[in-house]
Amino acid sequence: MSYIPTARIRLPSTVAHVAKYGNQVFIVRRAYHDESFGFRKPRKFTISDYTSEQLVNRATNAPLLRYADAVRTHGHRAASIDPLDLLRRERVAALNPVRYGLDDPNHAFDIDGILWTGQGNEEWTLNNITSFLNSAYVGRIAYEYMDLPSKTERLWFAKLLESQNGLEPMIVIDAERRKKIHALLAKSEVLDNFLQVKFPNLKRYGLEGGESMLPALDVLFEAASRAGITQLILAMPHRGRLNLLTELLEYNPTALFHKIKGGCEVEETLGVSGDVLIASPTLQYGEAEGIKVSLQPNPSHLEAVNPVALGKARAKQYSLLRTLSNGKNNQDCMLGDKVMCVQLHGDASFAGQGVVMETLGLSNLPHFTSGGSVHVVVNNNIGYTTPASSARSSFYCSDVAKMINCPVLHVNGDYPEDVVRAIDIAFKYRNHFRKDIVIDLIVYRRWGHNELDEPSFTQPLMYEKIRSRSSVPKLYEDKLISDGVISLEAAKAVRDSYKASLNAALTDVASYAPPPVRFEGAWEGMVWPASPDACQYDTGVSSMVLKEVGKASVCVPPGFEIHPRLNRHVKSRLGSIESGEGIDWASAEAMAFGSLMLQEGCDVRIAGQDVGRGTFSHRHAMLVDQKTEGVIVPLNHALTEAKGKLELANSSLSEMAVLGFEYGASWERPDLLPIWEAQFGDFFNGAQVIIDTFIASSETKWLKQSGIVLLLPHGLDGAGPEHSSCRIERMLQLTNDSYTAQEKHNINMHVVFPTTPAQYFHLLRRQIKRNYRKPLIVAAPKGLLRLAARTSFQPILRDTATFTDPKAVQRVVLLSGKIYYDLAKERAVRNLESRVALVRIEELAPFPFAALSDELASYADTNKHLEVLWVQEEPRNQGAWGHVKERIEGVLKELGLEGRVVYRGRREDAVPAPGIGKVYGVQQRAVIESAFEAL
């Protein structure tokens, strides 16, 4: 971390966190004084510092202190954490006490303030000290915590790991727990063997070699439950998923076998295509309140669900906070008190996939933190066929977590009891500090990437070693039998009983029927979008409410000093609200937000880069005091009677994780309007995986509805290729929009290109007013337009200039987006208002067959030779042309119009727009003129 001396800059101390080193003060990082809704202050922690006597002793015995800290820092390098012993380790010189001038093993030292034995003032010999440190730090659990910048956290770890009394009681691994660990391991092995025999061609991504993951998660669930956590959001890739489902998550094995045999996991009448299995059981641990563990769906894109799970966890926590505090922003209730996110990873993906880094980057941000996640990396020391040396530049796969100063515990997966101890420590840290922690569970993969692979093609020595060793469950079983904890007969009974239950479950597949889908919890009252009960509602709002909300959106409290240039913004908005004329895009948006907060009681959350001000300096939903940098959100400040709140989450420079986070929140809360705004339209490229594998397909794969809104600024304006296009053609291609008119078609998401603030206003309100949820993709013009009066969104905007005299119209120009205004201006210059009609298709998907047919019929009835053009400013291979062409032709055919719709616009191109101003100008002029050619 870089530090800037305060002597070089002048800032009021109120806008910075400060740190001292000697007599010099340094600024650590700047921050707004943000007390707005959703901003969660970092939790403060203290731990007793060194006493004066301890400080003296640390100075007196400085060589011993250096040695102890060296073992804490470097012990992991010598620890026995690799079950295959394939890690190439050099001798760690830092662990030799002689390097610190400590060469007499019998010399006695006062260890007070140097070691944390919990025994008070003591004198230990160097020999005892060395044994003590090695037992704590150079065993089968290795700790990386000494690089943490927080002295409090470093002391917490040292005292927890070294004290015999302990800061907190450590987990007791008694006979009963050992039996439970054995049962979990044995059943996992039985399931994998059963599936291999019954379904030999199944790619099941079994857990063989990594079975210790199950007792680790069992202990984590139990610890969370006993700590008062009631909801656990679990994200994981494929490996071990079936084992976890059927053992810990109580998934019906018959349902699993039904799926493996090709059956649908839900009612087939719903038209679900299916994908990975999910479950949300409520588990009971002793007398503690039940804990609901929700395993999230993860697509086949290795790791993509991480930010989705994080967003869902925060949204679930906020739902609970609103219930506990009657909708107020209860700052006393900490995030993470009732909800925890647990993320499982693979080693290659943890090190190699950017989504992991992006998601870690959100973990401590005030509008994104969920109170700390526990990460478990199931580390095979290989990614598909790629060895670790080619999969990452770092020594450990977990090193990427150091970017957020995250402690890491490495543990040998061959020793389940050590794994259980490690996970117990990890939870204690997370629950105390409410920050992320990583367990690097080092295991191996008994088979290849899947059970049909031959791994020795590329890793012959690794797999020679694997195939010559007993399995983890068998090794642990032999130890328990040797220790007299269980008998050979009891161990066999565990396996035989579970195998018998699996055989019975397989027999029951013939009569199995998936249970009906129910909307529960926050989704109660919602319906399936394809249901006859799905309906639209009027999205209009009374002028009185609009005026109240509009004024509230620029309400500045007394004594709050806004930027002088914003005075004009405030006056302009108040004037337009009062007159009802000239209401711009941001005003319409504010009125949509405020009316939903006021009338529907829903929260609105908009996330992305610079969303408070708005990239184009148009929104100003967040105001910053020019003297203190204090922050207010006027809608929250002025609409005190509103039950809903507006959260403005200015995000990190991340697309994939931030969009995934907002999408996860939309899964949890149908009463939330979640919006992700791309700074420019093309920024969604970094989030394409989330769009493809979740937003466009989750309803079809997993029956997951979402009301997520994507605001993607779009429109060619000479700004160059990347800032011009939101690649609307991609969004349209991702829809399952019908090519022909359907009475009832359940489209996967809506794609719109509104051209007026009124249209945008009604679209936002429609997201909440419906009794179901659909993703909404908004190709948003970058200009500020005027508001037209109506009470609902219109998929087609007719041409009012020519509608009164359709007989005179020779040409209908169909279009979408801001090019309408250029065409309308040119039409007026050419005096062609009566001969050319400009019809805007505002909703591209679902395609408005009926509305377009009604509009064109008024012209076609009197002119069978009517010309119909499609005009767009995007290149021909981009924009909406590929989507609308066949659909428009179908409408024209039904109307009996001759010929096909004719394309006018830019030719095919490899880029969305030219980066040379003159070239753009020539091209744009040619597009506009082509619409009126030969008239």
Cα–Cα distances in angstroms (integers) from residue 863 to residues 327, 809, 811, 855, 860, in the given order: 59, 8, 10, 14, 5
461 CB burial (10 A radius; 0-12, 13-18, 19+): exposed
Task: List, by residue range, all CATH 3.40.50.970 domains of the chain.
Answer: 175-260+274-512
Cβ-Cβ contacts under 8 Å for 795 (sequence gap 6 or more)? 841, 842, 843, 848, 851
Residue of higher predicted confidence among 233 and 713: 233
pLDDT band at 27 (very low <50, low <70, confident <90, very high): very low
pLDDT confidence of residue 788: 56
pLDDT at residue 682, rounded to an integer: 80
Cα–Cα distance measured from residue 534 to residue 770, given in angstroms and rounded to the nearest whole number: 8
H/E stretch holding 549:
helix 543-552
- Cβ atoms of residues 433 and 364 within 8 Å: no
* Rama region for 647: left / alpha / beta (φ>0; ψ in -120 to 50; rest): beta
CA torsion angle for 85, 88, 92, 95 (degrees, to 10)?
-20
Convert 361-388 to b/e letters by CB count within 10 Å (16 or more is b): bbbbbbbbbbbbbbbbbbbbbbbbeeeb
Q: Over the stretch 211-254, which tens digit does the pLDDT of each residue have?
A: 999 999 999 999 999 999 999 999 999 999 999 999 999 999 99
**Confidence (pLDDT) at 897:** 87
**What does the alpha-carbon distance between residue 670 and residue 668 come to, in Å, rounded to a whole number?**
7
Fold of 175-260+274-512: Rossmann fold (3.40.50)
pLDDT band at residue 3 using 50, 70 and 90 as cut-offs: very low
pLDDT, average across residues 86-91: 77
Which is more confident, 256 or 332?
256
Could you tell me the pLDDT band of residue 854, with boundaries at 50, 70 and 90?
very high
pLDDT of residue 517: 86
Q: Residue 876: pLDDT above 50? A: yes
In Å, how far from its chain's centre is CA 18? 31
Give the model's pLDDT for residue 41. 73
CA-CA distances (angstroms) from residue 476 to 182, 413, 740? 7, 11, 62
Scan for tokens 């305060």, then name that residue.
Answer: 6
Residue 651 has pLDDT above 50, yes or no: yes
Residue 803 predicted with pLDDT over 80: no
Which of 3.40.50.450, 3.40.50.12470, 3.65.10.10, 3.10.100.10 is the CATH number of 543-781?
Answer: 3.40.50.12470
pLDDT of residue 22: 46
Helix (H) or strand (E) holding 431: helix 416-433
Location of each CATH 3.40.50.12470 domain in the chain: 543-781
Please state, in angstroms and rounded to a whole number, the distance separating the CA atoms of residues 868 and 119. 90
Per the structure block, which two tokens stand in for 413?
Answer: 């997966």
Query: Which of the residue ranges 323-337, 385-399, 416-430, 481-495 would you say has the lowest mean pLDDT?
Result: 323-337
CA–CA dist 217, 223 (Å, integer): 10
Q: How far is CA 559 from the centre of its chain?
A: 38
Query: Cα–Cα distances in Å, from 781 out to 252, 611, 643, 659?
Result: 50, 16, 31, 20
Name residue, tokens 């989705």: 308
Least confident of 184-198, 427-441, 444-458, 681-695: 444-458
Q: 237: Cβ–Cβ under 8 A, 6 or more apart, which residues? A: 298, 302, 303, 344, 345, 346, 349
Mean pLDDT of the region 105-110: 96
Residues 794 and 759 sit within 8 Å (Cβ to Cβ): yes
Phi-psi group of 478: left, alpha or beta (phi > 0 → left; psi -120 to 50 → alpha; rest → beta): alpha
C-alpha distances in Å from residue 119, one per residue of 157, 159, 162, 165, 244? 17, 12, 11, 8, 42
Mean pLDDT for 874-903 is 93
pLDDT band (50, 70, 90) for residue 26: very low
How far from 682 is each of 648, 678, 725, 751, 871, CA to CA, in Å? 22, 8, 6, 16, 22
Supply the pLDDT for residue 330.
52
Q: Say if residue 701's pLDDT is above 60.
A: yes
Place of tokens 């109120």: 14
Identify the pLDDT of residue 11: 33
Percent of the chain predicted with pLDDT > 90 = 71
- What's the CA gap between 537 and 165, in Å, rounded? 63
Which neighbouring-strand residues pair with 840? 797, 815
Distance CA 45, CA 263 (A): 52
Phi, psi of 419 (to 5 degrees): -60, -45
What integer pLDDT is reported at residue 805 of this predicted model?
A: 76
- Cα separation of 150 and 426, whole Å? 17
Strand ranges (E), 114-217:
123-125, 141-144
- The pLDDT-based confidence of 176 (bands split at 50, 70, 90) is very high
- pLDDT score at 89: 73
d(CA 398, CA 400): 5
At residue 614, does pLDDT exceed 70?
yes
| Phi and psi at residue 232, to the nearest 5° | -125, 125
pLDDT of residue 326 exceeding 70, the answer is: no
Q: Where along the chain do the CATH 3.40.50.11610 domains lie?
A: 798-931
| pLDDT reading at 16 higher than 70 | no
Contact at 8 Å (CB) between 317 and 336?
Answer: yes
pTM (2 decimals)? 0.93
Q: 798-931 — its CATH code?
A: 3.40.50.11610
Work out the mean pLDDT of the chain and round it to a whole number: 90
Mean pLDDT computed over 336-364:
94
Do residues 749 and 691 touch, judged by C-beta distance below 8 A?
no
